[in-house]
Structure 1
Amino acid sequence: MSAPTPMEGRASGSARVYQSGGDQYIEEHVHHYAPGSAPLFGPPWPGPAGPREAAPDSVRMPLVGRAPGVLRDRTDLMARLRAAVAGPGGDIQVLLGMGGCGKTAVAQALFTEAVRDHGRVGLWVNASERVSLRAGMLAVAGDRGAGAGELAAAAGGRRAAADLVWHYLDRSAHPWLLVLDNADDPAVLEEGGWLRTSPSGTVLVTTRHATSALWRTPGASSHRLGVLPLEDAALVLSDLAPDAGTRESARKVARRLGCLPLALTLAGAHLAHQVLESWSMDEYDRKLTEESTALVDRGASATGGGQSRHLVGRTWQLSLDSLADGGLPEATALLRLLSCWTADPVPLSLLMPAAQDGAGLQHLSPPLVPSRVEPALRALLDHSLIEQVETDGHRCVKAHGVLLDSVAAGVPDAERALLSAAAGRLLRAALPQEGAASPRARSLVRLLAPHAAGLLHRSRRHDLVTAESVGIAVRLARLVYEAGDWTAALDLAATAAKTAAAHLGDAHPATVEARSGQGPVLFRLGRYAEAADLLRSVHQEALRTLGPHDARTLDAAYELQRVLHRLGDLTRARTLLEAVLDGRRHVLGEDHVATFKTRCEMLELRLAQDEFDGYTTAAEELAQDCERRLGPDHLVTVWARDALARGLLRAGRGAEAEELFERVLAGQRAGYGDEHPLVLGVLIQLSRAQYAQGKREQAAGSAREVAEGRARVLGEDHPETVAARAWYTEVRTGPPAPDGLVDRPPTRSTPPTPGGR
């Protein structure tokens, strides 16, 4: 993740600025744009030293802006935390409190001191969602020395990710402080075993969830943060807006806002940034008194979190009213649109269609027309309602989670369907058309995935779920799967399926498609029996409601036969696959990529059933057809060549098989990288082809590379690692003549799966 755009808080004289970050990010800041600066949707505007460059992805710095100048009423707490960081390590410090109370500000201040004064390695991870937690913790493992293959295996669900991370944290050569920020759903930490102690460092957690048993883990100490004392809260307002009123006036406003740091900072920013008007703190207090309770988040429970949403809601509405009075009512529409998604960074490219053709937002009240999107964005930035950040090379905007919750609660009922539909259209338009093949496409998919889940959540709450919103989530889950994060893909696919079933019904085509989308992910994760049970029911439902020739029925049957193939039920798999092949030829055509994939799968089945008669001829024809229709470098073409090479090896044509496996290996490496399990599966077949020709030394070298690679990527105890080590031993110690090898079926490894099929 990249560092956010710097934001500066200013105060005069001896005044101090109170700031906080993260999910409870609050900051007084002023944006300065150089003359001739480019718009938000254009290239980065130049600064004093020339064009800005995106900061490198890092877990070595908090993604929350500048550290606060002073922490009001946190002196005792900071003393306890400093002592923990300066100690031997092995403990967990948990900061508890409602949204906006400054937990992240404390964490950021401690982080800075730990690095600067105590020589600790500072590591910062956003723990608000499963996707961001996994990505951040794997980045921590990389920082502490994990290799690319190990990280790829963990990201793909082929190796226990938390075990890998803590293995490297425990063995760190330098003491560290690990901050898990915004852990508001403890289940995210608990389910993966992410929260542990280590003798090498200290863990600091910030969370709004105060009652989780996880915080009572041995070695954990909890510290509750509340709102500020009245005097300190008044000082926050006076620091931010020193000319807006007396200390007594500041006390009145602070009391009205419940002394919540987030609300105080937004109020101070509003008072400090007025141009057309110049409210005093007394006038601001009167405006708060006049506000209706209609702005209260109606979906919030009567908890600390709900109270914080109430307070922030009153504050942000005053800022939006001021913007509307100043000629920018579109800021309200834009913030309501952002509230359809989540508090994760929103790529500016996601908002681009709104600035080009309106995306249907011009029908809102107030309308958001294309020419007003840019001014609305800048206005929200200037009033501290959103911030601009750089994430994975994408320029994004980010709003506070508590703020978005309260904004969403205040959307008029008549506007909800329009906003939800517009948010869905923008997500669909932002999906990379080429799939998740390129690194930039993969990073964009990771950014968009939480927003698809967020849109489903908002839609579910107000009974606005549509086949379109479910379909977007299913498509994004597929792209996340192709990008290699199988666990995250399963989370999103399961959310889409559960939502569709609850709101559209089990028989709805969108529900069938969503449930079917979970099958390939379960298959890749090795959960074969679970995948088979799911796909059997999905296939039966699709046959009943959609008919045998519908593309979604054929897709479900295709995924089911793959699982049955792996489970050894080859006869049933063959029956299903023959029906899929006939159906896809009829529905999609002979030259469709899905038809070619089905033909490749059929060759795999024939080989598994020892059906060699005519196999080589069929494989040669398929490879030629794929190369002619799809191109020589397409991954389905590579897959077809692999099927042909396996047939040649089984037919005793070792030299031809070796040459073809070399081509397949180059194609797989180009598509997946050097240590992907599918690449290693081809390499072990190359070793067998070399051994079949008596090239014992070369075969041993290839076998050793597979054994070592699988150990790194899949782990020492993985069955494929065990099989690879056994083959390596056989090559080194077996008989020099390969007689009988051709008659013995080679160990079957997972077939290449182009495009994450």
Structure 2
Amino acid sequence: MSGARTPVGPSERGPAKQTVTISFAGFNRAWAAWIGDRLERRGHRVVYQRWDSPAEVPLVELLRDLTLAKGRILIVVSEWYFQLGPRTHDEWNAALREVVAPDPSRFAAVSVTNSTLPTATTVLGAVDLNNMGADEAERRVLERLDLPSDPLPEAAEGTRRGPRFPAAMPEVWGGVPRRNTRFTGREPLLNEAYHLLQGAEAGAGVVTLHGMSGVGKTQLAAEYVYRFGSEYDVVWWVNAEKRVTYRRRLAELAPQLGLTTGAEYGERLRAVRDSLRRGDPYARWLLILDGADEPDQIYDLVPTGPGHVLITSRNPEWSEHNSRLLEVPVYARDESVAFIRRRAPRLTEPEADQLAEALEDLPLLLDQTAGWLNDSDLSVQEYIALLDGGIDQDVVKVSADFPVAFQTAWSILLNKLRDTVPESVDLLRLCTFFAPGFIPVRLLKEMPHDQLPEQIAGLLNDPLLWNRAINQLRQYSVVRLESHEAAGDEAASSGESLYLHRMVHQIVHKDMPDEDRREFIDVVRRALAAADPRRPTDTRLWPGYAEIAPHLKYADVLQSDDPTVQRLVFNCLRYMYISGEYVAGIKLGERAMETWRALLGDTHPRIWELTHHYANLLRAVGDYERTEALERAAVDHLRQERGEHDLDHLRAVGGLAADLRGLARYDEALERSEWLLTAYRDLLGETDSRTLNAQNNVAVSLRLLGRYDEVLEIDRRMLEARRALLRGRHPWTLYSEIAYATDLRLLGRYTEAESIQAKSVREHRIVMGADHPETLRAEHNLALCQYRAGDRTRAGAMLAGVLERSERVLGENHPTTLSFAVSESCFAREHGDIDRAREVGEAVVARYEMLLAEGHPYLAGARANHALVLRSVGERQSAHAAVEQSLAEMTAAVGERHPWTLGCAVNASALRNLVGDPESAAELGHLTVVRATEMLGRVHPLTLSARIALAADLRGLREHQQAEKFEQEALEDLAATLGAQHVHTISARSRNRPFWDFEPYIT
């Protein structure tokens, strides 16, 4: 007896520990998990048994198998438990009487439904868990199992977090579609997705449900949420078809997480991603990215952290982006049969099998077909005969993935809709002139309804008819009605946010009379034009343009001669340019140029306006030769037709000057910009935005010519004027802040520059978003300010981050990315990562050689930087040859007094010394100091570097007295200008020879 233990906490109501087998339908897994967790906390053993009811096995046998389990059997009673099979109530009543009634003590039950159940379920004695809190529900479960219900000690209660009480929603819940009450099967997929996510390491919990259209990926993801959502504190559903809508929807999570941010979604997005990464305030989060078919567009925005991400996609490339793939096939035949019989109870099991065979088990098609077939007098055999015979001669696959019968099945369904509620077909056809996916049908209701076709005006003006059409489409699963980020729950419930599957979209769009096509496309074009926010420069209105832009292609707006529709196209192009959506903008611009030239002629006024917007987008990606040809043609034609002072001509001149700057024809660009500024001042006055833009472009040309003092004053006046006339957060004002801070930095006023640029970075992130090209420019300039000021730790991290994001957002060959890469290579070289410096530097040179003509100063400067890498690895002769070539090319490109040429000369004198030519080095050094002093002033950082370098050259010639004098004077000026403890001053004091890094300007 010495080793015996007395049971803890005995109860007269039953043993302290029991084995309980919980039997539940998969639909009710959350209840089973919660009940099991409550029992296990009290020391009881729990066995989970997911109830399945294959039709071929008699129900009595299945129940008897259940009695083989040890201990008490607790059944989670709901309509789902009794629908599996499907089984009739009579079958269930008979089986319950035969198996349960003779030994009712083995069974217990809890009810989680208010639906009508088989009458014999009373033998289970189920206790109701509906409409109560967790504590009372737990007490009832324990009481039904004859177990003690004493409260657990606080310590025991807090040892771990279990599943949430199923009746309690997660603390944050948004955008999740309504639960599909006809969801069938998919148990292995649901369980595998669950185990993959739960078993993933922190930061790697990403699973992609991959499969063809119509296979049920979205429904599977929604069912996963409802089954396992109680284990999360945050569940957030995101439409991820487009990057811009994904960004906005994710940003909307910020206030739900209690994050304090500004109103701009760029700032909110950054805060949300950081919060999810840290798991603060919620570590248990689930993010669902629905319809993410383009991984390259959004993979960089997928949050990492302790939570989980579930993606639905047709694209298997997610496996290359830190995601586990889980293929979603068509239904297994037993799943198809069970689903059809739920959807169409009048069909027998053999009929359901025949229908599934004919429709190739595709869930979407099964859903739509079975829905109307259940209400039809048509037999399954007659319907299959229609499919086999066809009701028109054009029975083709919409896609290689789709069943051959799909179009024929849809023709049958459309006939059914047309016969019952013809307006539903009109609405459906209207929807196909929007992009597939979420359809902003509220735009139709918000547009002016005068002069609309009679049947459309009637539909839009009659709420009863509208709702009837919507409900008809919902009844047969043609559309889904659910919440959407652009509309919200209230709008969705009133039928203003519909989801149309792309497969259905294609079929309906194809099967449309020409007369309807002409009328309906005109309606949608007018709806989009009416929704135009009309101010593409206002960042607060960008979400409106982001919503409209995807639909332009499907409404074929370029074929419209309506001026309001054409104005919408211009505004969208302007939005795409300012917001950094260059690729999409170029595609739209290319299509517009081709279409409108054919529609309007080569010299129509609209063509010249289109040329301006299209050239801006091409110039933004560095295609200067193409834009120069476009703008020069515009300038020549408009000057000849309208005269020099026509506003369209002046705008074309400004574009041409920008092209010349891109082509490094800086003097010519400055000449045109100065002429343009005078013309605008005479026509419009000093404060017109076009005059200010012209003044800005004069400053850009002067900066490229190295005339930094002149530029600083112009940019200071520009910044003040834009702050006064526009607003502090207007894009042009923010642009001027970067320009002014850059000028200060180039003049060596690093502390002032950093102060202004740090503020500007914050404003850019708020207004533009973290990954906007202008935000990247702002961060890059801030990093260079920090670098020059001596804060190299922060600068290095920011330079690397900016380059990585620019490569992702803009591409490796974009001019902005290349300028960032130049800085990264120089930083890596200076801080000992010579392999990184060489890798990046060689890539930059190769890309510039591909993109720029020989003799371009950027190519010469990149080669000068690479020469310093070669020097660092000991390849002296190669380095010397490279730097001499760069010096010659830079001199030819921009002249011998340009700061870039002077910088190349500083490097060249060092390499001449290194290869044993000190006389030539000192001669070049003297000349460089004289020219730098004349061009930049005695105490400019580049002049100071040249003076320190010359002292070293003089020592190499053993002219120690003169070297000492030069060095001492330079050190005094360095200390006075940059500070005695600045890294450049300390380095010069240690007699480390200075070098110059070429920096390509982003214009």
Q: Structure 1 residues 336 and 388, CA, compared in 2 at 3 Å: closer, same or farther?
A: same
Residue 577 of structure 1 pairs with residue 673 of structure 2 = yes
What is aligned with 1:334?
Answer: 427
Q: For residue 223 of structure 1, what is the aligned residue in structure 2?
A: 327
CA distance in 2, matches of 1:58, 1:299: 48
Conserved in 2, the CA contact under 8 Å of 1:300 and 1:309?
A: yes
| 2: CA distance, partners of 1:651 / 1:491 | 32
Deviations along 1:318-374, one digit per CA (max 9) or x if unpaired, are: 4532443xxxx33322221211111233335522344x424x5316x6765641377
Alignment counterpart, residue 455 of structure 1, candidates 534, 538, 555:
555
Conservation of the 8 A alpha-carbon contact between 2:534 and 2:571: no
Question: 1:371 aligned to 2:474?
Answer: no
Partner in structure 1 of residue 440 of structure 2: 347
Secondary structure of the structure 2 residue equivalent to 1:71: coil
Is residue 369–residue 409 contact of structure 2 (8 Å, CA) maintained in 1?
Answer: no
Kindly indicate whether residue 831 of structure 2 is the aligned counterpart of residue 737 of structure 1: no
In the TM superposition, residue 430 of structure 1 has moved relative to its aligned partner by 0.8
Q: Report how far residue 409 of structure 1 moved.
A: 0.9
Q: 372, 389, 392: which is aligned to 2:483? A: 389
1:448-505: per-residue Cα shift (whole Å, max 9, x none)?
221124334xx79xx88999767634422422444x4x2xx22321221232344444
Q: Which amino acid aligns with 2:453?
A: Q
**1:49: which partner in 2?**
none
1:633: Cα distance to partner? Answer: 5.6
Structure 1 residues 544, 313: CA separation in 2 closer, same or farther (over 3 Å shift)? farther
How many Å separate the matches in 2 of 1:17 and 1:709? 60
**Cα offset for 1:577?**
2.4
**d(CA) in 1 for partners of 2:554 and 2:278?**
32
User: What is the Cα deviation at residue 313 of structure 1?
Assistant: 2.3
CA distance in 1, matches of 2:780, 2:322: 46
Cα shift readout 1:133-192 (whole Å, capped 9, x = no counterpart): 666789999999999999959999xxxxxxx99x969999979877654355xxx22577
CA contact (8 A) 1:59 1:125 kept: no
Cα distance in 1 for partners of 2:543, 2:361 equals 39
- Supply the distance in 1 between the matched residues of 2:802 and 2:261 (Cα, whole angstroms): 9
Q: Is residue 189 of structure 1 aligned with residue 280 of structure 2?
A: no
- Quick check: 2:538–2:730 contact (8 Å CA) kept in 1? no
Aligned to 1:27: none
Give ranges in structure 1 of 5+ residues lacking alignment.
1-9, 19-55, 157-163, 273-277, 692-698
Are the counterparts in 2 of residues 100 and 262 from structure 1 also a CA contact under 8 Å? Answer: yes
State the partner residue of 1:357: 449
Answering whether residue 101 of structure 2 is matched by residue 101 of structure 1, we say no
Find the partner of 1:239 among 326, 331, 342: 342
Any idea what SS the aligned residue of 1:389 has?
Answer: coil
Offset of residue 513 of structure 1: 5.1
Displacement of 1:391 in angstroms is: 0.5
What is the aligned-residue identity percentage? 18
2:891 is aligned to none
The amino acid across from 2:438 in the alignment is P
Residues 264-290 of structure 1: CA deviation (Å, up to 9, x unaligned) = 333455578xxxxx6456499669949
Identify if the C-alpha distance between structure 1 residues 142 and 225 changes in structure 2 by more than 3 Å, giving closer, same or farther: farther
Provide the rounded CA distance (Å) in 2 between the counterparts of 1:704 and 1:626: 34
Query: Which of 65, 87, 98 matches 2:178?
Result: 65
Long gaps (5+) in structure 2: 1-77, 87-168, 492-496, 806-819, 831-939, 945-971, 983-995
1:61-99 deviation line (CA, Å, top 9, x unaligned): 674332555423x34444544554454466986655442
* Structure of higher CA gyration radius: 2
1:265 to 335, 359, 367: 367
Structure 1's 293 and 455: CA in aligned 2 closer, same or farther, altered over 3 A? Answer: farther
Deviation at 1:583, TM superposition (A): 6.4
Aligned twin of 2:517:
416
Distance 2:702 2:519 in 1: 52
Aligned-partner SS, 1:444: helix
Judge conservation of contact 1:333–1:368 (CA < 8 Å) in 2.
no
> What TM-score does the superposition give when structure 1 sets the normalisation length?
0.63
CA distance in 1, matches of 2:305, 2:715: 57
d(CA) in 1 for partners of 2:187 and 2:257?
32
Task: Please tell me whether the aligned partners of residues 114 and 120 of structure 1 are also in contact (alpha carbons under 8 angstroms).
Answer: no
Task: Deviation per CA, 1:227-266: give whole Å up to 9, x if none.
Answer: 552x644543442354x56556656666665543223333
Name the structure, 1 or 2, with higher relative contact order (CA <8 Å, separation 6+). 1
Letter in structure 2 aligned against 1:105: Q
> Corresponding residue for 1:532?
624
**Residue 445 of structure 1 pairs with residue 540 of structure 2:** no
Between the aligned partners of 1:332 and 1:535, the Cα distance in structure 2 is: 46
- Give the structure 1 partner of residue 507 of structure 2: 406
Residues 521-542 of structure 1: per-residue CA shift (max 9 Å, x gap): 5666xx4xx3313322321343
Secondary structure of the corresponding residue to residue 437 of structure 2:
coil
**Cα distance change, pair 256–470 in 1 and its aligned pair in 2 (3 A):** farther
Count of matched residue pairs? 647
| SS of aligned partner of 1:455 | coil
SS in 2 for 1:605: helix
**Aligned partner letter, 1:108:** A
Query: 3-state DSSP class of the match of 2:218?
Result: helix
> Is 2:305 aligned against 1:305?
no
Are the structure 2 counterparts of residues 173 and 592 from structure 1 closer, same or farther at C-alpha, using a change threshold of 3 Å?
Answer: closer
Between the aligned partners of 1:216 and 1:121, the Cα distance in structure 2 is 27
1:600 aligns with 2:696: yes
Within 5 A, what are the aligned runs for 1:13-28? Answer: 14-15=82-83
Letter in 2 for 1:414: E
1:369-406, CA deviations, whole angstroms, 9 ceiling, x for partnerless residues? 64137732552245313314230565433222222221
The residue aligned with 1:34 is none
Q: Distance in 2 between matches of 1:464 and 1:309?
A: 32
Structure 1 pair 195–134 and aligned structure 2 pair: CA distance change class (3 A) = closer
Q: Which amino acid aligns with 2:630?
A: V
3-state SS of the aligned residue for 1:407? Answer: helix
* Kept in 2: contact 1:91–1:203 (CA 8 A): yes
Does the CA-based 8 Å contact 2:208-2:310 persist in structure 1?
A: yes
Amino acid paired to 2:551: H
Counterpart secondary structure, 2:498: strand
CA-CA distance at 1:428 after TM superposition: 1.8
2:571 alignment partner in structure 1: 475
Q: CA offset at residue 130 of structure 1?
A: 4.8
Residue 161 of structure 1: aligned partner: none
SS of alignment partner, residue 574 of structure 2: helix
| Preserved CA contact (<8 Å) 1:496 1:514 | no
Paired AA for residue 223 in structure 2? A
**TM-score (norm: length of structure 2):** 0.50
What value does the CA root-mean-square deviation take over the aligned residues? Answer: 6.5
Contact 2:209–2:313 (Cα < 8 Å) also in 1? yes
Please tell me whether the aligned partners of residues 286 and 310 of structure 2 are also in contact (alpha carbons under 8 angstroms): yes
Q: Is the 8 A contact 1:258 1:311 kept in 2?
A: no
1:178 & 1:683 partners in 2: Cα distance?
29
Query: C-alpha distance in 2, partners of 1:465/1:639?
Result: 36
Classify the secondary structure of the residue corresponding to 1:305.
Answer: coil
Instruction: Evaluate the alpha carbon distance shift between residue 14 and residue 684 of structure 1 in structure 2; reply closer, same or farther with a 3 A threshold.
Output: closer
Name the aligned partner's letter for residue 469 of structure 2. A
Shift of 1:543: 3.9
Query: Is residue 597 of structure 2 the alignment partner of residue 500 of structure 1?
Result: no
Deviation at 1:310, TM superposition (A): 1.3
After the TM superposition, which residues 676-695 of structure 1 pair with which residues of structure 2 at under 5 Å, given as runs?
A: none
Give distance in 1, aligned partners of 2:376 and 2:537.
51
